[in-house]
Structure 1
Amino acid sequence: MKLFKGRRRAKKIDQELGKGLWRQAHDRYVRGLDRYHQILDGVDDDAVYNQLVLIGDQLAEQLPRVYELCRRGELEFPATEMQIPQGAHALHSGLSRAANHVATTAEAEAMVRLSNGQLDAVRHRASQVLDSLSDAESVFK
């Protein structure tokens, strides 16, 4: 049953996000989020782990927001390839920066895990994700 459910979900994503630019933007965010959670699994200090979980939860809570931005992007600025359609630069830029910041949040988290970084750096990177998503949303306001 899970196989068919996964296929239905993938088909729905393809229909709503397309297979080009907006799907890539969504998938980049998801990969960064997955990486964050992979790194989290190796944190031994319970207090640090708990703080990192809160940050990770905040980033994960943005996934529906990212999906909706990408869905609206495909709806209003269809893209079958990787070229950014006219008028979609600010939206794509905000989504791209958000995905990059998720990746740098995971890097900062890895430094904390290795006792070479600070939780404040992870928090700062996570706030940049939120700021970038707000920038992307401004296209639709």
Structure 2
Amino acid sequence: MAFFSRLRAERAATRELGEGVWRRAHDRFQRSLDRVFQVVEGIADDQVYNLLVKEANEMADLLPAVRQLCCMAHRITPSNDEHIPQSTAGVHRSLTKSANDLATTAQVIAMMRMQAEAGEPIDIESVRHRAQLVKEDVGRAMQLLADSE
């Protein structure tokens, strides 16, 4: 049964996001978010885990907004290839930057995890800073999309 529901979800995503740059922008953000949670799930220290899962959850809350942005951008400037539409290039750039910043956040969390496992003190501020960059990137993409409509 799960196979058919996954197939329906895949078809709906193709219909809403296309197969071009908007689909890739969404998928890139989702893969980066998955990586954040993979790293967080491996943390044994409950105190460190609780601090980091809060930040990870805040970034996960951005996924529906990213999907909506990509769907709206695909409606405005459809893409089924690798060509980035000129009128929404800034939106794409901001979404790509958000996914890259999110992947960097996963790296920062991984380094923090290693510090915690080594018994060294950790500072959550670097993760918060990276998470703030991701939020700003998504916000910038929203503003650019609103301006291009």
Shift of 1:105: 0.5
Gaps of 5+ in 2: none
More deviation, 40-49/97-106: 40-49
Gaps of 5+ in 1: none
| TM-score normalized with structure 2 length | 0.91
Runs of 4+ in 1 over 2 A off after TM superposition: none
What letter corresponds to residue 54 of structure 2 in structure 1? Answer: L
Task: Please state whether the residue corresponding to 1:108 is helix, strand or coil.
Answer: helix
> How far apart, in 1, do the equivalents of 2:49 and 2:99 lie?
22
| TM-score normalized with structure 1 length | 0.96
> How far apart, in 1, do the equivalents of 2:139 and 2:58 lie?
14
Shift of 1:13: 0.2
Matches for 1:5-44 after TM superposition, within 5 Å: 5-44=5-44
Count residues with an aligned counterpart: 141
Shift of 1:54: 0.4
Matches for 1:1-141 after TM superposition, within 5 Å: 1-115=1-115, 118-139=123-144, 140-141=146-147
Choose 1 or 2 for highest CA Rg: 2
> How far apart, in 1, do the equivalents of 2:86 and 2:53 lie?
39
